[in-house]
């Protein structure tokens, strides 16, 4: 199967700079007209963003003293509201189209992008620095189990205290498979959605010293998203 030999990352990058960029830019723009499937995905994704923002607020602490890394930030759907709460946010994405759009949106918000919010074209595998919290929302779905370990490794490496990640749970495998054509219509079908076992992800992170704190499942008709918050285990 030729498809199996295609490097996922190359396919994903190409997709999110072209047809995928346009598709997701529209889904992530509340005022753009989109079809009903896309409206449903937009609604699900917004719920995910809201839950994550709520968790961060509930955890308390002085948010302006906290640093966040948003890996695979897209158009900034989470990074921008987080920066509005006063957080320091380093947002990055492998797609330059996404980063340009995110910067445009931040400029619309502030005029000049505040120094507390940075955008960078960067592969998740090349993340650098050290952040109180690392976020990775709706990115892992684009990668197979074979790539999962190195992606989780990279996120874990730059996270000091807290991680909030999302993935498409394997529980809904057949439901989602039936609907996969709606996720990636037309020629972009080459980019597929991968589902992951929750156990694989949690075990892998546990080995790196992480313990899950809370979870939530967002499920609309076409959007399935398991959100997990993890914290670094105390080594005492």
80, 106, 117, 137: which one contacts ligand SAM (CB under 6 A)? 137
139, 168, 176, 225: which one contacts ligand SAM (CB under 6 A)? 139
Using the structure block, give the residue that is written with the tokens 């994405």.
Answer: 93
12, 69, 163, 227: which one contacts ligand SAM (CB under 6 A)? 12
Q: In Å, how far from its chain's centre is CA 118?
A: 17
Phi and psi at residue 230, to the nearest 5°: -125, 150
52, 80, 98, 218: which one contacts ligand SAM (CB under 6 A)? 98
Residue 66 or 77: the one with the smaller Cβ distance to ligand SAM is 77
Q: β-strands 159-167, 224-232: how paired?
A: antiparallel
Only one of the segments 92-100, 112-120, 189-197, 222-230 lies at the binding site for ligand SAM (rule: CB under 6 A); that segment is: 92-100
Q: Tell me how far apart the alpha carbons of residues 164 and 91 are, in angstroms, rounded to a whole number.
A: 14
Residue 28 or 224: the one with the smaller Cβ distance to ligand SAM is 28
Which residues are paired to 219 by β-bridges?
224
Residue 94 or 159: the one with the smaller Cβ distance to ligand SAM is 94
Return all residues near 125 (Cβ < 8 A) that are at least 6 apart: 150, 151, 154
Q: β-strands 88-93, 117-121: how paired?
A: parallel
Residue 120 or 211: the one with the smaller Cβ distance to ligand SAM is 120
Applying the rule CB under 6 A, the residues between 142 and 201 that interact with ligand SAM are 142
Only one of the segments 57-65, 80-88, 90-98, 213-221 lies at the binding site for ligand SAM (rule: CB under 6 A); that segment is: 90-98
Only one of the segments 89-97, 106-114, 196-204, 208-216 lies at the binding site for ligand SAM (rule: CB under 6 A); that segment is: 89-97
**Residue 72 in the binding site for ligand SAM (CB under 6 A):** yes
123, 153, 197, 216: which one contacts ligand SAM (CB under 6 A)? 123
Phi and psi at residue 140, to the nearest 5°: -60, -25
Q: Which long-range contacts (CB under 8 A, 24 or more apart) does 113-118 make?
A: 114/83, 116/64, 116/83, 116/86, 116/87, 116/88, 116/89, 117/79, 117/80, 117/83, 117/88, 117/89, 117/91, 118/89, 118/90, 118/91
Least Å distance, CB 236 to ligand SAM, is 34
Binding site for ligand SAM (CB under 6 A): 9, 12, 16, 24, 28, 71-74, 77-78, 93-95, 98, 123-124, 137-139, 142
């Amino acid at each position: 199967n030729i498809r199996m030999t295609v490097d996922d990352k190359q396919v994903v990058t190409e997709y999110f700079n072209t047809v995928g960029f346009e598709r997701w830019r529209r889904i992530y723009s509340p005022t753009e007209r989109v079809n009903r499937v896309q409206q449903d995905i937009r609604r699900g994704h917004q719920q995910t963003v809201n839950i994550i923002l709520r968790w961060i607020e509930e955890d308390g602490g002085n948010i302006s003293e906290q640093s966040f890394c948003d890996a695979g930030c897209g158009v900034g759907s989470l990074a921008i509201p987080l920066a509005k709460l006063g957080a320091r946010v380093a947002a990055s994405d492998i797609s330059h189209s996404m980063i340009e759009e995110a910067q445009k949106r931040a400029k619309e918000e502030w005029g000049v992008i505040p120094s507390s919010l940075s955008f960078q074209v960067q592969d998740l595998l090349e993340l650098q620095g050290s952040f109180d919290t690392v976020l990775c929302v709706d990115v892992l779905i684009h990668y197979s189990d074979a790539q999962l370990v190195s992606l989780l490794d990279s996120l874990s490496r730059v996270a000091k205290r807290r991680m909030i990640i999302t993935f498409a749970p394997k529980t809904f495998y057949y439901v989602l498979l039936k609907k996969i054509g709606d996720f990636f219509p037309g020629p972009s079908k080459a980019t597929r959605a991968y589902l992951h076992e929750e156990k694989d992800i949690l075990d892998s992170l546990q080995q790196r010293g992480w313990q899950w704190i809370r979870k939530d499942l967002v499920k609309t008709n076409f959007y399935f998203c398991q959100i997990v918050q993890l914290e670094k285990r105390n080594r005492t």
